[in-house]
Amino acid sequence: MLLNQSSMRFIQNIIAVYQNMVEDILDNISQIDKIAIQTNLLALNATIETIHASELLESFEKIVGSNLLIQAKILSKILEHDPDFINQDGAKLAKECGIEEFYITDAEGKIVFTNRNNKQDTIINKPEMVKLIGDPGAEVVLPSSSSIVDEPRYKVVGVGRTDMPGLIQLAVHFIKPKGQEAIDGFGVVANEAKRLSDMSNEVSDKLNLEAKELVNKIDKLKHLSDSLENREVTKSDIKQIDEQIDLISQSFKSILYLLTDLTNIARQTSLLGVRASIEAANTINEKLEFDTLLNIHMIIEAKLSAILLERTPNITSEELTEIAEYCRIGEYWITDDRGVVELTNVQGGIGFAFTNEGQTAPYMRILKNPDLVVSQPPAERDIDGKVYKFVAVGRRDKPGILQIGNPSKLYGENTAKGFHEVAKQIKYLAEQSMSTTGEIVDLIEEMKKNTDKAVSFLASI
């Protein structure tokens, strides 16, 4: 039996359609490979963002500890110049300066001055603190503690008194930054993105194998078809064609099965993108959080420094420099009633005039209202471009401004921005994967239709 020209062309057209479509399938599978690689890189990026954010939150505790040390050291210097400082209402002092807890002991570790009346005359016997007694250069910062995860952290530091044997202990509760829960959640997102990426890679590898196998089957069908031209076709030949088409159909089923898995992965990735967006919305704005934390502690330091200045009426800039080094205050700028600096630990700073223009303008208001507290977020200052955080209060000894400044860094909303970008990319890749998978499904379905035509045609011969 000889297949006529139109019959042969029909089979060859179906084979040509197969070949074109399988090339498109391979291209789409290659695209899925790329999406899986991008998702893997995105998972790595999400992990890096999470680590970065966690490091930021860890630095919250470091800031609390280092600032408590500054406050304890200023108290130590006050006692050096005024031993009678402890003969006052501790609770009133703490309220005035914003101190949460302070304890000053004698050489036996007995608390002689505190804002906690129930602790007066009790003994501090914690080993880490006891060893500070009699060592004026010693200091300790204890790890924060909390009985319940969601409770505020409790931070304690201590320094040895410099006026006599004894110790100064400060403590504060600080709220666990609200972004921590979101950061923990984003860590889960990063791990899940990695898991889905690995699954996608695995399915993609299987798809590649199935697609290559499909190419081989189509090539065999074409070779078989070509061999039938211009010769008598037997029932055995038609059976071989039918069997080869059946093998191709089996490949379609295997590929569609894998595409179902890939669609499910894409859906999970899409849902993960939604979760990532939710977590990103709850992340910290570190600029605001850090500045708020610094404000609390630097205001206390400025107020304690004003007390220290009041207790040292004849202090010189050289002596102020030594105090600043001991207390780890970056800079002191202390003005007269006109805003002209008369005391500072900055070389060449004497005579510098605060004005009503530029970066010093906000602090000039203190000259009219000595009870005013002025703070500014970290910024590059005009005189040298260095980034500093400044806080100022009114002098207690006479009219003037007492400003302290510490080196800082410019914080942005990097964590929130980073998380939002990762969330956006996760959703985008999920959409790409879903779209590409859908295209492959459409191609396979179209190939199945052509297969059905071929089967019907062969059955009619």
pLDDT in tens, 310-325: 999 999 999 999 999 9
Cβ atoms of 447 and 221 closer than 8 Å: no
Span 110-167, pLDDT tens digits? 999 999 999 999 999 999 999 999 999 899 999 887 655 555 678 999 999 999 999 9
- The strand order across the sheet containing 111-114 reads 111-114, 101-105, 167-174, 153-160, 139-141
> 3-state DSSP call for residue 395?
coil
Distances (CA, A) of 259 to 65, 362, 452: 55, 64, 21
| pTM over cut 0.75 | no
Terminal-residue alpha carbon distance, the chain? 10
Cβ neighbours of 39 (radius 10 Å) = 27
Mode of pairing for the β-strands spanning 111-114 and 374-380: unpaired
For residue 404, which of 338, 325, 324, 307 has the smallest C-alpha distance?
324
The sign of the dihedral angle between the CA atoms of 51, 53, 55, 57 is negative
Give Cα 176 distance to the centre of its chain. Answer: 15
pLDDT along the chain (461 residues), means of 10: 58 77 79 74 65 61 90 97 95 96 96 96 94 93 72 86 96 70 69 80 84 85 76 73 82 83 82 75 63 89 97 95 95 97 95 92 96 90 82 96 86 61 76 81 78 67 61
Cβ atoms of 297 and 291 closer than 8 Å: no
Give Cα 72 distance to the centre of its chain. Answer: 31
Cβ atoms of 63 and 153 closer than 8 Å: no
Distance CA 319, CA 327 (A): 12
